[in-house]
C-alpha cells in the first residue's frame, strides 16, 4: 500500500475580524492526502485559503476544526517536523547574516551539526545557485536571491517531505527553471514535495496530482490525467474545397468555421459532432485537411472551475 505522508481531514479555520468580531471562514472542510514520492500541487486564486492551510499543516496556527497528520503523527508534531523542510510564502532571512550563516543557523535548529552541517550548507547553497553570494550580507541581495536562500534553508537538513508555499515567487525565468529542476531532483531521490503556486504551467509540468481550492473549499482533486481527460473533448477540424453548399449544410448543423489561409477551420466539441461534420463535409465535396485534438490545459480548467 502506498504510504500517505500527509493526510488532511475536514480542516477548518475561522478568524474573527478585529473591532467588528465578524467571523471569516478562511478554510472550510478541506480534505486531501499526499502520497510518498509524489509532487503534489496546491492551487487556487488569491484568498482561496492555501497559505492558511499550510500554516495549519506546519503548526504556525491552530485549526478551528478537523485534523491533519504528517508521517502518521497528528499536527503539530515536533518529531514529524524534523523530517519536513518548509519554505513560507515570504521567507524572512535575517538581513545582517550571510547566506552561509543563515542556512547554518537553520541547520543547527534542525539538529545538524559539525562537519556534516558545514558540508550540507555548501551543498544546498550551490544547488540553489547562490555560491557566489554565500558570504554576502542578505540585506544586499535581491528578493529573488533571498527566496533562494530560504529554499536552501528548507533543504539543509535533507528532509523527506518539502512544503513549499509559492516557491517561484520573485524569481526570474532562470530561477523558476532552477526550482523546477530542484523539485524533480528531490522527487528522483524519493522525496515528497507539496507546493502551492499561481504559476499553473509549472504545476502542469511538475505535479503528479493537484488539489484546487476556491473560497476555502476543495473544488477539484486528482491526477492531472484524470482531471484533464474528464473535461470536454474539443477538436480543431480544417477543411479544404468548401463550397457554398457545404458551408450552408454545416451552418444548418450549428457549425460555423473561421477562414485561416486556404482552410476553413471548425472548433468542434465531442466526437459525435466531429463525425457529423466530417460526414457532411464529404457529402458536399469538401476535404478534411487536418483534425487536431485540443486537450484542455490546467490553466483553462483552473479558470473554468476555480474563478
pLDDT, tens digit (0-9, with 9 covering 90-100), for 236-271: 899 998 998 999 999 999 998 888 888 899 988 878
Residue pLDDT, tens place only, 39-88: 999 998 888 999 999 999 999 999 999 999 999 999 989 999 999 999 99
Question: Which strands form 258-260's sheet, in the order they lie side by side?
Answer: 258-260, 263-269, 234-240, 287-294
One CATH from 3.40.50.720, 3.40.50.2300, 3.30.70.120, 3.60.15.10 for 234-306: 3.30.70.120
Looking up cell 515570504, which residue turns up?
A: 90
Tell me, which fold does domain 4-229 have in CATH?
Answer: Rossmann fold (3.40.50)
**Which of the residues in the chain have pLDDT under 50?**
1
Strand partners, 74: 69
pLDDT of residue 307: 67
Spell out the domain ranges in the chain.
4-229, 234-306
pLDDT of residue 1: 44
pLDDT of residue 2: 57
Residue 68 CB burial class (10 angstroms; 0-12, 13-18, ≥19): buried
CB atoms near residue 14 (< 10 Å) = 14
pLDDT of residue 232: 57
Instruction: Say if CB 246 and CB 280 are below 8 A apart.
Output: yes
Q: DSSP secondary structure string, 22-62?
A: -EEEEEEEEEEEEETT-EEEEE--TTSSHHHHHHHHTTSS-
Output the pTM of the full model: 0.80
Nearest to 31 by CA among 3, 74, 68, 64: 68
What percent of the chain has a predicted confidence (pLDDT) above 70?
96
Residue 51 CB burial class (10 angstroms; 0-12, 13-18, ≥19): buried
Amino acid at each position: 500500500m502506498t504510504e500517505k505522508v500527509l493526510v488532511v481531514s475536514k480542516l477548518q479555520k475561522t478568524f474573527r475580524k478585529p473591532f467588528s468580531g465578524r467571523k471569516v471562514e478562511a478554510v472550510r472542510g478541506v480534505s486531501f492526502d499526499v502520497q510518498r514520492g509524489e509532487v503534489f500541487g496546491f492551487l487556487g486564486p488569491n484568498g482561496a485559503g492555501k497559505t492558511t492551510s499550510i500554516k495549519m499543516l506546519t503548526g504556525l496556527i491552530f485549526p478551528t476544526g478537523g485534523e491533519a497528520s504528517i508521517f502518521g503523527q497528528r499536527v503539530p508534531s515536533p518529531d514529524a517536523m524534523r523530517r519536513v523542510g518548509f519554505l513560507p510564502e515570504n521567507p524572512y532571512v535575517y538581513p545582517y547574516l550571510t547566506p552561509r550563516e543563515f542556512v547554518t543557523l537553520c541547520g543547527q535548529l534542525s539538529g545538524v551539526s559539525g562537519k556534516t552541517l558545514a558540508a550540507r550548507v555548501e551543498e544546498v547553497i550551490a544547488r540553489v545557485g547562490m555560491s557566489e553570494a554565500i558570504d554576502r550580507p542578505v540585506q544586499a541581495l535581491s528578493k529573488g536571491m533571498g527566496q533562494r536562500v530560504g529554499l536552501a534553508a528548507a533543504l539543509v537538513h535533507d528532509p523527506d517531505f518539502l512544503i513549499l508555499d509559492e516557491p517561484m515567487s520573485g524569481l526570474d525565468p532562470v530561477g523558476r527553471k532552477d526550482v523546477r529542476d530542484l523539485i524533480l531532483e528531490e522527487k528522483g531521490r524519493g522525496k515528497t514535495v507539496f507546493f502551492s503556486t499561481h504559476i499553473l504551467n509549472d504545476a502542469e509540468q511538475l505535479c503528479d496530482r493537484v488539489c484546487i481550492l476556491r473560497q476555502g473549499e476543495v473544488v477539484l482533486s486528482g491526477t492531472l490525467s484524470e482531471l484533464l481527460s474528464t473535461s470536454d473533448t474539443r477538436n480543431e477540424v480544417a477543411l479544404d474545397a468548401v463550397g457554398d453548399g457545404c458551408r450552408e449544410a454545416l451552418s444548418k448543423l450549428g457549425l460555423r468555421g473561421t477562414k485561416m489561409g486556404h482552410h476553413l477551420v471548425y472548433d468542434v466539441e465531442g466526437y459525435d459532432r466531429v463525425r457529423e461534420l466530417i460526414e457532411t463535409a464529404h457529402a458536399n465535396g469538401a476535404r478534411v485537411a487536418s483534425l487536431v485534438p485540443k486537450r484542455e490545459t490546467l490553466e483553462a480548467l483552473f479558470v473554468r472551475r476555480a474563478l
